[in-house]
């Protein structure tokens, strides 16, 4: 347990195992310490968009786990429904993009973690570290790929990072309107269906592998190999 905890606290050391694929669906895995970073190019047609604002609302407010009211960020974040821009405007943000890349972090879970309080706490910490690592990858790729749009796994965390305070929504205006981080749900994207369409296995209720999913939408062609190498150079300092 102590060894694993030290691994979580240590620097992410990345080593790539780049597979050679000739088709447009090229797929490259990259090991991030005990995590696995996957970047895969997908067609726009394979991205599953929910059909309406009502469908987005239903998805966000659907009960899950111990959250009877659904996602706690619904109505409490400027990056999330119903307070983010209307769905057509969100989709229009991607209109200039021609290349779409799913960016996925996965990590194996220890056997029996749900029955072991110590392991369960470590797994909960891992979720937060995976969110941070994925966010850092997406930020790095956003600056690396010209004209790209990053799409995050979770709601905006800029206020917490900059001010150590929660989002001002809904009572006050956004503190950083030019830096809002929109998630897949904000764009009305059905994450599970999109990942399934891409052929990436994901556990809905993780028992053996936990996943975090984001996306980079590029205005011009981008190299998966180059993106992975950039993540390697930028994310290895994350703790």
CA 38 to chain centre: 11
Residue 143 is predicted with a pLDDT of: 92
67 pLDDT exceeds 70?
A: yes
> In the structure, what pLDDT confidence band is assigned to residue 35 with cuts at 50, 70 and 90?
confident
pTM of the model: 0.81
Write out the residue range of the structural domain in which residue 204 sits. Answer: 2-235
pLDDT in tens, 207-223: 889 899 999 999 888 89
Q: Any residues with CB less than 8 A from the CB of 39 and at least 6 apart, and which?
A: 27, 28, 30, 101, 102, 103, 104, 224, 227, 228, 231
Q: Rounded CA gap, 33 and 107, in Å?
A: 9
116 pLDDT exceeds 90?
A: no
Residue 29 is predicted with a pLDDT of: 54
Residue 48 is predicted with a pLDDT of: 96
- Counting residues of the chain whose pLDDT is more than 90, the rounded percentage is 54
CA triple 124-130-136, angle to 5 deg: 145
Residue 236 is predicted with a pLDDT of: 58
115 pLDDT exceeds 80?
A: yes
> In the structure, what pLDDT confidence band is assigned to residue 24 with cuts at 50, 70 and 90?
very low
Instruction: Please give the tally of structural domains in the chain.
Output: 1
Residue 74 is predicted with a pLDDT of: 94
């Amino acid at each position: 347990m102590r060894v694993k905890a030290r691994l979580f606290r240590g620097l992410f050391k990345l080593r790539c195992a780049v597979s050679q694929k000739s088709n447009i669906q090229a797929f490259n895995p990259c090991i991030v310490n005990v995590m696995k970073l996957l970047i895969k190019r997908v067609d726009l047609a394979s991205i599953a968009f929910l059909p309406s604002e009502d469908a987005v609302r239903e998805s966000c407010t659907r009960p899950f786990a111990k959250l009877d009211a659904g996602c706690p960020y619904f109505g409490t974040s400027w990056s999330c429904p119903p307070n983010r821009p209307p769905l057509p405007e969100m989709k229009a943000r991607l209109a200039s993009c021609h290349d779409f890349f799913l960016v996925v972090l996965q990590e194996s879970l220890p056997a029996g973690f749900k029955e072991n309080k110590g392991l369960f706490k470590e797994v909960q910490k891992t979720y937060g570290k995976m969110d941070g690592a994925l966010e850092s990858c997406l930020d790095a790729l956003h600056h690396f790929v010209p004209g790209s749009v990053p799409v995050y796994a979770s709601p905006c965390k800029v206020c917490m990072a900059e001010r150590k305070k929660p989002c001002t929504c809904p009572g006050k205006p956004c503190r950083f309107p030019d830096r809002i981080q929109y998630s897949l749900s904000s764009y009305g994207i059905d994450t599970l269906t999109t990942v399934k369409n891409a052929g990436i296995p994901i556990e809905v209720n993780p028992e053996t592998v936990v996943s975090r999913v984001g996306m980079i939408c590029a205005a011009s062609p981008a190299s998966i190999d180059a993106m992975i190498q950039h993540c390697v150079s930028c994310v290895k300092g994350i703790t």
